[in-house]
Chains A and B, each alone.
Chain A
Amino acid sequence: MYGTGLLKGLSITMKNLVKPGRMFTLNQYPDRKIGLIGLAKMQNTNALAFAVKKPGTAVKALVGMVSVPDRMPQHGRFRGEEFSWYEQRCTGCASCAKYCPLGIIRIVTHPSEQQIPEGDKYFIDVFDIDIGRCMFCGLCVEACPYDALHMGSGFEEGKYRRHDLVINKQMLNESPKRPSLWFRPQIEGKDYHPHSHEEIEWQNAGRHERPTVEQQQERWTER
């Protein structure tokens, strides 16, 4: 009958109201309101014991005023900021700079005098990435032949000035080495997630078929 569609629509919205199972997959970033039961579970007690021990906090949790930090759930392949860069692996070939569609990677090198374990290599004077213009396409990571550059996994690098967004060699060296799994199948299989707190050493970040030092030196002498 004409007119029943309106009532059907009302029943759908009511179903969504009373059935909370189909909420958005939203996390309450940056912190999440936590109820009394959740709070007690975090402290490894039950709700009643917790309420007896800390009545003030319990009441606060009951009215929804206690929050715990939370972060967005991301897949390990998330292409984020804070590039992970291993200076030990980088030869200064500037493939990344050439491959970048926006040309925002700047590399200045000079021939290295010191003995480097990785074979032929330039010493890197400058390695700047202008995050402010970066679109996180990941082509630089795809281009890197020695797996020295990885995407990061963060997204909270807000700054007040544009030039603060340029990350230089020092910042790249000091930043935590938690590379994203993007285009790095070799670390994807290792039961590693960028959000877990262990960092990846430079020896473990590369591809298996990467030539060893001997092979490289051999190749060098052949030339």
Chain B
Amino acid sequence: MTVKTEPVTINLGPQHPSTHGVFRLRVTFDGEVIVDVEPVLGYLHRGSEKLAEGRTYVQIVTLTDRMDYIASMSNNLAYVRAVEKIAGIEVPERAQYIRVISAELQRIASHLMATGFLLNDLGALATPLMYCFRERERILDLFEMLCGARITLSYMRPGGVFQDTPPEFWPALEEFIGNMPTYIDELERLISGNEIVLTRTRGVGLLNDVDAVDYSISGPMLRAAGVEWDLRKADPYEIYDRLDFDIPIGALGDTFDRYIVRIQEMRESIRIIRQCIDATPSGPIRAETPFFIRPPEGDAYAAVESPKGELGFYLVSDGGISPYRCHVRAPSFINITPLREMLLGWKMSDLIIIFGSIDIVLGEVDR
């Protein structure tokens, strides 16, 4: 007897618990196996790039908060670096150190979030997610000390940061840095050795190094594929050339590698912050900049290694108080380009975890 079957097309999203925002995937299944995938973007498009053309250079900082809203510090850093480059502003050293510390804290927070939600996608009833959030909460407390906000930070300004650290920030940071390695160990003992996690993630969603480079993937996803490339080493910005840290890489480029690279990057970030705490000099935290910056005509591109990958801002100035054009090279958006190739042939459950391991933020994808 032959059974007549036909593929079924399912809309995953825009309202779905595991699409990490309002992402929509039109997936065609043959039973449980994926035969076709078509991503549909744009549900969170707010026109940030166009809005930026009508705002002054300082006001755009608040727009960048809302792109990658779980790593606002990195977005701020990338943007203000672009402005500094185009306007030729020298940043005081103390400000650079504070910026690096806060960007690395943000990297830990973002990676914790990615790990927690990956495990949530694996179906672990939010327990690892809650543990991750518990540690992230401490980072957000530190951010609240720095700039009075927890998510939409707007901490950095062209020329430095807007306000010096409060005195209670440094002891709190020391305590956090002292405790964090044990927290990461605990998290790893809960997740990394778990056989169910290994069975689910190892060998799933492979992306080899050639494909990763061809798709211009960056960030932990690229390093999981074995490509030892990190903007902090490849094109050191701020003070990263003075710091000593390693670039963790993965073996195969599967979902498990992406997870383990993130865990190791958190450890490296702690190393970086520890070096920064010792080296931070005293001094001014903000270069003297006018309220309305008028950079000379020209363009500039500045990129940082955000938790998701290479985050770049391209600004074109016509000499006015607002940029003529502002373009964002959003790592989340570029990292989902190989999604179709990664998903074909896998099962529905794998779709969720492969998608989760890419770690996108829809605010950044759609902008």
Contact = CB atoms under 8 A, between A and B. Distances in A.
Contacts, number: 93
B189 A12 contact: yes
Nearest to A143: B291
A136 B59 CA distance: 12
Contacts of B130: 24
B134 A79 contact: no
Instruction: Tell me whether chain B's interface is mostly helix, strand or loop, or mixed.
Output: helix
A51 to B, nearest CB: 35
Interface in B8-41: none
Interface string B190-216: 111111111000000000000000000
Interface in A104-141: 135-139
A2 B130 CA distance: 26
Contact of A182 (B55, B62, B131, B148): B148
B154 A6 contact: no
A136 B144 CA distance: 13
B163 interface: yes
Nearest to A12: B190
A58 B59 CA distance: 55
Interface size range of chain A in the complex: 35 or more
Interface residues of B, number: 39
A157 to B, nearest CB: 17
Interface of B: 55, 58-59, 61-63, 65, 127, 130-131, 133-134, 137-138, 141, 144-149, 152, 154, 162-164, 166, 186, 189-198, 291
Interface of A: 2-6, 8-9, 12-13, 16, 22, 24-25, 74-79, 95, 99, 101, 135-139, 142-143, 151, 180-183, 185, 188
Given A77-B147, A78-B149, 16 more contacts: A4-B193, A6-B194, A6-B195, A9-B189, A13-B190, A24-B134, A24-B137, A25-B134, A25-B138, A75-B144, A101-B59, A101-B62, A136-B152, A139-B154, A180-B148, A181-B166
